[in-house]
Amino acid sequence: MADRSTALRSVARNVVLLGRTAARHAQDDPMLLSVQTLRRLPSPVRSRVASALLSGGSAASVRHALAHFLADHPADARQSLAHAQPSSRIARRVGAEIDIVLGGTAPLDAAPLLRARSAWARGDVSEAAAVASTSPRRGGQRYAAVLASERDLLTPGFRLPAPAARSVASGSEPSGIRALHLLINSLPWTQSGYSLRSHAILRAQQAAGMTVEAMTRIGYPVVVGLPQAKDVDVVDGITYRRVVPARLAATPTGRLEQTVEAVVQRGREFGATVLHTTTHYPNALTAQAAADALGVPWVYEVRGQLEKSWLARRPPEDQERAATSERYLLARARETEMALAADHVVTLSTALRDDLVAQGVPAERISLVPNAVDAGLLERAETPAEARASLGLPQDGFWVGSVSSIVDYEGFDVLIRAVALLREEGLPVRCAIAGEGVARPGLRRLAERLDISDAIVLPGRVPREEAVRWHQALDAFVVPRLDTEVCRTVTPLKPIEAMALGRPVVASDLPALAEVVVEPGSGLVAPAGDPHGLAAALRRLAADADLMARLGAGGQRFARTRTWGAQAETYRAIYEGLGVSRGA
């Protein structure tokens, strides 16, 4: 009964927090809140709303731009906006909101709040804060404070205050490896490469005898629309604690300070002997301040480069300018500063390690802990035909594809065009891409335009337990990433899982991918962004069963050297090298 009462109080608090957050946004900028709410509706609902909007009005209108925006058809949305001539103030405002999200620029005569958001989106940090401060509205002044806080967090040398140290009773000092992980999100509420890697690390460390626990960012998962979430989730024996206060601070700096207080409190209760966090710099600032208060070392795991991901999401025609923007340059410098401040740095690929070294981080303070697999995957022996039968897919044909988040830089449009080229030649190639993302609707439309819809399967997000079967259903696993800065340095998790299952991999010829495909002999590479080159690699595989078998076996041998169990020992060595004892 007590547990039920506690759970009800938590849900009530969560509802109040979500309501307060929504009310503040509604008061500050109701139009932005409306557009964001529509964008975050479930995909089927958004599709119905988009269809209703498209049923009337002119194609060159804000109404149609909003429909295409909700349907994740950005090119069509831009085209509608380019020729729209909105007559009402509301239509002009909605059009401007959509244009900013799509990479456009707010008109010079727009309200300060809108121009400030436009400047921030373009990477002009100081301009954004200055423009917002000129707003006469209370919401504008609050946004100005948020932007000033964001600028502070990006400023070299800025640190969060560490809570005052408290004495620990004699004889109660913790010992052994007790790692408290600070994460952005986690299972069971978020299923992504990030959350799956985190979970695998925690499980492996726990299996290796370390005591582990995780905390997620402040407000998560309530602020992403999940008020029913509990304060503590236990998944496969791993404890995830949430930082959900009754009220969130008004600025990013304030919220990070709230997080530091929560981490320090839990760190003392847990007896943490090391803190372990992941990119990007706000997490590092939190870990730095909490570690100072707790008197323990902290490890910074650089899993990606969010400033480069932001750059890759800018419109192609704006990326050269964005690469010299204040936001990009400050974030890049900030990441280097935090890597230098950490007691040790972990990263995923040789390419990413080399980039950190080039930025000035000493190589001896960086450890490589690549993506790995559960050893149990190596024992899964289901054939592609058997897996396809269990999923209700046609068993015939040569199946290629992926299991991934579906975003533009993954390059799945290149894969679909390659499949179309091969089918024109009469080859029975089929494609399955399991996952969700903003680029998925565009892939479906591309398949329709190329008249190969019957050969393309896009099942959407699949349950974690079912993802392995989608890997197994493929004859070849494809990673057709585009040649962007972030794709050149970051290695995804899924191809290693495909290798463990004996599937050859075909990937773009980029440094972070070539090091796990070419060097271990687990697959083939093709020029990034080139459908003809990708089609040639797939054609070669489909025509050579011996090559398929040889690459599949090479991938499995490579995967055996990259199990999470082995990686746990690397983490143990890192922690012990920082003075964290093994314990009794």
Give the least confident one: 41-55, 114-128, 259-273, 534-548.
Answer: 41-55
Q: Using alpha carbons, list the distances in angstroms from residue 179 to 32, 176, 183, 315.
A: 40, 9, 12, 41
State yes or no: pLDDT of 7 exceeds 90.
no
Q: Are 565 and 203 in contact (CB under 8 A)?
A: no
Task: Give mean pLDDT, residues 493-517.
Answer: 94
The single residue listed with the structure tokens 């680029």 is 439
Given this model, what pLDDT does residue 166 score? 58
Task: Give mean pLDDT, residues 326-330.
Answer: 97
Q: Taking the alpha carbons of 227, 231, 237, 238 in that order, is the dihedral positive or negative?
A: positive
State yes or no: pLDDT of 461 exceeds 50.
yes
| Mean pLDDT, the chain, whole residue set | 92
Confidence of residue 486 (pLDDT cuts 50, 70, 90): confident
Task: Give mean pLDDT, residues 330-359.
Answer: 96
User: Strand, coil or helix: what is 271?
Assistant: coil
State yes or no: pLDDT of 47 exceeds 90.
no
Given this model, what pLDDT does residue 169 score? 45
The residue ranking higher by pLDDT, 233 or 583, is 233
Domains of the chain are 28-154 (no CATH), 178-368 (3.40.50.2000), 375-562 (3.40.50.2000)
State yes or no: pLDDT of 4 exceeds 80.
no
pLDDT tens digits for 564-581?
999 999 999 999 999 997
Give the integer Cα–Cα distance in Å for 288 and 283: 9
Give the integer Cα–Cα distance in Å for 359 and 456: 42
Angle (nearest 5°) at CA 576 between 574 and 579: 120
pLDDT tens digits for 167-177?
444 445 677 89
Given this model, what pLDDT does residue 31 score? 76
For residue 357, give the H/E element and its range: helix 350-358
Whether omega for the bond prior to residue 188 falls within 30 degrees of 0, making it cis, is: yes
User: Strand, coil or helix: what is 34?
Assistant: helix
State yes or no: pLDDT of 27 exceeds 50.
yes
Confidence of residue 165 (pLDDT cuts 50, 70, 90): low
Given this model, what pLDDT does residue 583 score? 53
Given this model, what pLDDT does residue 383 score? 93
For residue 354, give the H/E element and its range: helix 350-358
Give the integer Cα–Cα distance in Å for 507 and 504: 10
Given this model, what pLDDT does residue 175 score? 75
State yes or no: pLDDT of 582 exceeds 70.
no
Q: Are 117 and 100 in contact (CB under 8 A)?
A: yes
The single residue listed with the structure tokens 């046609």 is 394
Q: What is the pTM of this model?
A: 0.91
Task: Give mean pLDDT, residues 190-207.
Answer: 95
Report residue 498 as tokens.
């495909």
Task: Give mean pLDDT, residues 386-415.
Answer: 95
State yes or no: pLDDT of 495 exceeds 50.
yes
Q: Is 573 exposed, middle or buried (0-12, 13-18, 19+ CB in 10 A)?
A: exposed
Given this model, what pLDDT does residue 93 score? 87
Given this model, what pLDDT does residue 171 score? 47
Q: Is 234 exposed, middle or buried (0-12, 13-18, 19+ CB in 10 A)?
A: exposed
Given this model, what pLDDT does residue 584 score? 41
Confidence of residue 321 (pLDDT cuts 50, 70, 90): very high
The single residue listed with the structure tokens 């690390």 is 201
The percent helix, strand, coil of the chain (3-state, each to 5) is: 55, 10, 30
Confidence of residue 34 (pLDDT cuts 50, 70, 90): confident
Given this model, what pLDDT does residue 5 score? 72
Given this model, what pLDDT does residue 225 score? 86
Per residue in 372-385, is it b (16+ CB within 10 Å) or e — as a string? bbbeebbeeebebb
Q: Are 288 and 296 in contact (CB under 8 A)?
A: no
